[in-house]
Amino acid sequence: MSDEQYMREALKQARYAFAEEEIPIGAVVVLDRQIIARAYNQTEKLRDVTAHAEMLALTAAANHVGNKYLSDCTLYVTVEPCVMCAGATAWAQLRRVVYGADEPKFGYRRHGNLLHPKAEVVTGVLGAECGEIMQEFFARKRK
């Protein structure tokens, strides 16, 4: 599968979040071209400010591989990770982080590079689609 195909899987997760009135961010973790974890934001459902899609996906991936280090894995996430999630990817030693839409307000890049120093970062994959679902969500919230 390509980066775009994996991002489409993350977008499916974002749509689940949208349907549950969660901020529509989805994530998948890939190892050896296989999706080993899928997650979406569940901060409202779980009443947990740390229940971001990335955090839930990293936990599921670590459980899948039986190790806290995910150095051979790639995280696909629909929106630029926040500081907390970027830090978690650094601690997990992810090889790659691929995201769709930029997050100028809360994205990690406002604070410098918080990812693992060896991590490859790919931005803008299906960025328009990833941004549109966020815009639609917040437009509905404002009504």
- The gap from C-alpha 51 to its chain's centroid, in whole angstroms, comes to 11
How far is Cα 4 from Cα 129, in angstroms, rounded to an integer?
11
Strand, helix or coil at 138?
helix
Is 103 noted as a catalytic residue in this protein?
Answer: no
Out of 54, 80, 103, 120, the active site residue is 54
User: Strand 73-79 to strand 34-40: parallel, antiparallel, or no bridges (unpaired)?
Assistant: unpaired
Sign for the pseudo-dihedral over CA of 91, 96, 100, 105:
positive
| Residue 140 tokens, joined | 């509905």
Known binding residue 85? Answer is yes
Q: Which residues are marked as active site?
A: 54
Annotated binding site for Zn(2+): 52, 82, 85
Q: Which residues are annotated binding-site positions?
A: 52, 82, 85
